[in-house]
Amino acid sequence: MLDSLLVPTAIVALAEIGDKTQLLALILAARFRKPWPIIAGIVAATLANHAAAGVVGAWFGSFFSDSTLHWILAACFAATALWTLVPDKMDDDEASTARKFGPFLTTLIAFFLAEMGDKTQVATVMLAAQYPELWLVIIGTTLGMLIANVPVVLAGNFAADKLPLTLIRRLAASAFLILAIVAVYKAMQSSGWV
């Protein structure tokens, strides 16, 4: 049961470092200089986005046998491992949202939109399909987002400039690859091959 919380927390925290939402957190922190409304917006947006993704993952997982689901998860985790190696860039549309609203609402809208189709949202779908404790997965992925983004908001540009982003992307990709290998093993077990 604890795996449903700890694995998503670690995976998302690693995957989020150097991600476009972390870049968005830097921009918002520099623009507004009000960390607490920004952090509150990150929490609200992530909970909403990852809850929706988690429900989709749990629903998706109910349609397949254990063996088929694990093969699908293995392929998805392997693809996400490769995707994690590609650095994110910030879209101008996401940054321009800040001109219209205050720090909380801007962060809420921008983070929710930035997470749509992002690798951490896709990871949440896959993790929710894999682990039976849906709410622990959602809490874990949200904690992972906070672990990666709150220090950036609090420290501003200093923290992101000093991090070895290439190494962190490789560690995150390795974590997704390990999940893919575990999923392959579980698929082989479910199929009776092991």
Assign 194 to helix, strand or coil.
coil
pTM of the model: 0.78
Counting Cβ atoms within 10 Å, is residue 162 exposed (0-12), middle (13-18) or buried (19+)?
A: exposed
Number of domains the chain is built from: 1
Counting Cβ atoms within 10 Å, is residue 34 exposed (0-12), middle (13-18) or buried (19+)?
A: middle
**Residue ranges making up the domain that contains 183:** 2-191
**Is 70 exceeded by the pLDDT of residue 99?**
no
Q: Average the pLDDT over 28-52 and give the result.
A: 92
Q: Average the pLDDT over 30-48 and give the result.
A: 92
Q: Decide if 88 contacts 20 (C-beta within 8 A).
A: yes
Q: What percent of the chain has pLDDT over 70?
A: 88
What pLDDT score was predicted for residue 89?
Answer: 64
Q: Average the pLDDT over 114-138 and give the result.
A: 91
What pLDDT score was predicted for residue 49?
Answer: 95
